Chains A and B, each alone.
Chain A
């Protein structure tokens, strides 16, 4: 089975500063996808960013970017110019793609607080 590890249960950052959330995973597969999801106090899960393992280029979405290190099985999320609305739980997720069906595996989450 695949495992996803988020070693930082809680983090905080000053508004407008930059913060990096860590994620590592364990897999023997070569074809997979990685995601970061945000869960604000409303508890609605929102996709932040998606990375395809076969692409070397790191994905970016506005203020959000990833540092994908395939050999090290590391997938960290960098949030630049942090805003109060970024306060949320952040989950790292791994998906192995199979023709018979996909499985998604989640880390335990990092609670991020943006301080005004």
Chain B
């Protein structure tokens, strides 16, 4: 079945550490997105990519980095510069005017 796979489901970060969240899709979608979800704040866009080797900053890109070397993969790195990384992270993809397809999310917490 086609879909989006995020891993790991839970992730813990130590002070000063960079961590990478994985996102893989087999839907053959060009566009991929990363959202951060905090309680009471809805979904906020971190980065998005419309095509391989190209990506754009969203509303809250500071402290995050991404790459898009393959169409099916869009990993997100939470760097040590992100001082409040505890949140639920959602990866999504879309094609044309269709809906966003979401992964099952990664909960990141700070040790």
Contacts and interface: CB of A to CB of B under 8 A. Distances in A.
A38 to B, nearest CB: 11
A88 to B, nearest CB: 14
B104 A43 contact: yes
Interface in B81-111: 88, 90, 92, 94, 96-97, 99-100, 102, 104-105
Contacts of A6: 42
B104 A44 contact: yes
Residue in A6, A42, A95, A104 whose Cβ sees the most chain B Cβ within 10 Å: A104
A106 B42 contact: yes
Interface residues of B, number: 23
Contacts of A33: 97
Interface of A: 6, 9, 33, 35, 37, 42-45, 47, 50, 52, 91, 93, 95, 97, 100-109
Contacts of A37: 100
Given A104-B33, A104-B45, A108-B41, A97 B104 contact: no
A21 B34 CA distance: 26
Interface in B37-96: 40-45, 48, 50, 56, 88, 90, 92, 94, 96
A4 B8 CA distance: 30
A50 B94 CA distance: 14
Counting from the closest, the 9 A-B pairs by CB-CB distance are A101-B50, A45-B102, A108-B42, A106-B43, A106-B42, A47-B99, A97-B97, A109-B42, A43-B105
